[in-house]
Structure 1
């Protein structure tokens, strides 16, 4: 009963704030406030507050076990090892596929596959200018400021 009263009080307060925002012609903000204001009543009417309470209690129990139970730490270490092994085998599998293209199944003739083109090289003059300035990426900004007389 107390949960219902609190839920509907929060909903009423949110609708009041949404009304004030709409009165000030802030319709987008008023719509957001109204949408958020409907959440407590909707959670109560669907019966999700007990579910949230149970989830919160279980999470708190798990966190307590995490701190004090060495079995949980062992499980975390095992999960980390498993993730590291999966990532390592994935990376090694990709490297083997690149090194030995004949081991991969053929996707068709090589002429049907699109060619990969490299990016055009930068002009050497611009690259040398950036290195000589010592400013790196700020050279363009400095040039714009210089043109405007700042």
Structure 2
């Protein structure tokens, strides 16, 4: 009975605030206040207040167990270690600090060693005689058009 009185009082107060907002021509705000004002009455009429109380009681029991139970603290430490390991491996993977695992040989015998081959540096392109190298290669046609127009 008390929850009904509180629910409908909250709804009436919210509707009053929504009415004041509408009177001041702030219709968007008034609509929001009206929507929020309908929640307590709707929760009471659907019977969700006892459910909310049960959820609140269970939450309080869980928090009490969290504070006073060492088993829970060990679980929290394990979750923290797991999160730290996952974040560290992700960070190292992005930096490229971890090399991929070497390939395993298909045969049971030892794998033959391959000589290390250094990659040859790219050879610079030969430029035509009389042309300047300003890093804008491939723009000759645009350059020609600009010259024709006198730009």
- Give the TM-score normalised by structure 1: 0.58
Unmatched segments (≥5 aa) in structure 1 = 104-150
**Counterparts in 2 of 1:27 and 1:45: CA distance versus 1, 3 Å:** same
Structure with larger Rg: 2
Cα displacement string for residues 79-101 of structure 1 (whole angstroms, at most 9, x for unaligned residues): 0011111112223333449966x
Residue 47 (1) aligns with residue 85 (2): no
- Structure 1 residue aligned with 2:70: 70
Aligned match of 2:15: 15
Q: Deviations over 1:82-132 (max 9, x none)?
A: 1111112223333449966xx9xxxxxxxxxxxxxxxxxxxxxxxxxxxxx
Aligned partner of 1:139 in structure 2 is none
Q: Please tell me whether residue 87 in structure 1 is matched to residue 77 in structure 2.
A: no
Distance (Å, rounded) in 2 between the aligned partners of 1:46 and 1:22: 28
User: Higher helix proportion, which one?
Assistant: 1
Query: Quick one: distance in 2 between partners of 1:14 and 1:36?
Result: 7
How many residues end up aligned between the 2 structures?
Answer: 101
- How big is the shift at 1:11? 0.7
User: How big is the shift at 1:46?
Assistant: 2.5
Moved more, 75-84 or 55-64: 55-64
Structure 1 residue 73 displacement after superposition: 0.8
Residue 141 of structure 1: aligned partner = none
Structure 1 residues 96-115: aligned runs within 5 Å: 96=96
Measure the CA separation in 1 of the matches of 2:20 and 2:45: 26
Q: Deviations over 1:45-85 (max 9, x none)?
A: 23221222122111111211222111111111010011111
Q: What do you get for the CA RMSD once the two structures are aligned?
A: 2.3
| Residue of structure 1 in register with 2:116 after alignment | none
